[in-house]
Amino acid sequence: MMPPQFVSLGPLTLNVYTFLIALAALAGLGWAWLGGRDAGAFTVAALGALVGGRAAYVALHWDYFHEHTHEIIALAGLSEHGAILGGAIVACAAHGAQRASLLRFSIGHAQFLVLLGVAASIGCIPNGCAYGREVFWQTDGADSLAWRLHADWPDAYSVNNPRWPTQAFMALWLAITGALLLWGQVRSLPPLAVLAIAFAVGDFFIQFLRGDAALMVGGLRVYQWFDLALALLAVAAVALRRESR
C-alpha cells in the first residue's frame, strides 16, 4: 500500500516526506533523552545530516537549482551520501576537537542516521523520488522477479506505472544495516565504518534498479561511484585503526 503524499495535522498540511523525517528525528531525540544520552549531540547530528544531504543534492542538480535558487532551502530532495557525511562530521565535532575522529562516531548516532534514512525512503514513495525502473510482464516475463516484486508507484512526474520498488528495498536494507551495526558492536568495529560499508554495498546494487535520471560515468551511475569511494574510505579507516593498535 502506498502512503499518502500529504498528512494533515490540524491546520497544518505536511508532505509525508517532511513529516516522516521530522517524526524520525523526534523519535531519535526522545530515545536519546530517555536513555540519558547527549540529546544535544543527536540534534546537531540530525541537522548535519539534513544540511549535508541537501547541500550534496543541490550540488548534483545545480543545472536546475542555479535557475531556481528559491528552491535551494528545502527538504524536497536529499543525498544519502551527503547526509551520512554531514551527520558524521557534525556529530563527531560536537564531542570536542580532541575527540573529533570519525572512528569515534557512536552506534547511537549511526542508528539515528539509519532511522532518518528509513523515514526518507518511505517518504519518497508517494513523492516519486529515488523511483525504480518500469517493468513490463510482456518483456520482463509474467513469472520474472521484476514482475513479481513490482509496485504501481509514481515517478518524479507523478506518473504511476509498474516499477521496481527501490524505495522499499532501501528502507529494508537500512533496517538490515541497523542489525549489522549491532553485529559490528560485538566485533568492536567502528559504527561509522559499518554504516558506510553496509549502506554503500546495498545502494550500489539498488542503483541498477533505479529509474530516475543520474549522471553516467564509465557505465555506472555517479551515485555508484560515490558508494565505491565511501566503502573504500571506510575499509581504509578500519585498516589504519587496526595497524595503529
Q: How do residues 158-205 score in pLDDT, each as one tens digit?
A: 999 999 999 999 999 999 999 999 998 878 888 888 999 999 999 999
**What is the predicted pLDDT for the residue at 136?**
93
**What is the predicted pLDDT for the residue at 101?**
44
Whole-Å CA distances, 215 to 70, 74, 148, 164, 224: 24, 22, 29, 20, 10
The amino acid at 60:
L
Beta strands in 10-79 (DSSP E): 12-15
Residue 1 lies in a domain: no
Residue 3 lies in a domain: no
**What is the predicted pLDDT for the residue at 103?**
45
Residue 118 lies in a domain: yes
Residue 97 lies in a domain: yes
Residue 6 lies in a domain: no
CA-based nearest residue to 28, from 95, 87, 75, 93: 87
**What is the predicted pLDDT for the residue at 35?**
64
Residue 200 lies in a domain: yes
**What is the predicted pLDDT for the residue at 191?**
86
Residue 131 lies in a domain: yes
Residue 110 lies in a domain: yes
Residue range(s) defining the domain that contains residue 160: 11-244
The amino acid at 100:
A
**What is the predicted pLDDT for the residue at 95?**
59
**What is the predicted pLDDT for the residue at 167?**
96
Angle between helices 39-60 and 107-127 in degrees, nearest 10:
40
Per the structure, how many domains does the chain have?
1
Please list the ranges in the chain whose pLDDT falls under 50: 97-104
What's the pTM value of the predicted model, to 2 decimals? 0.83
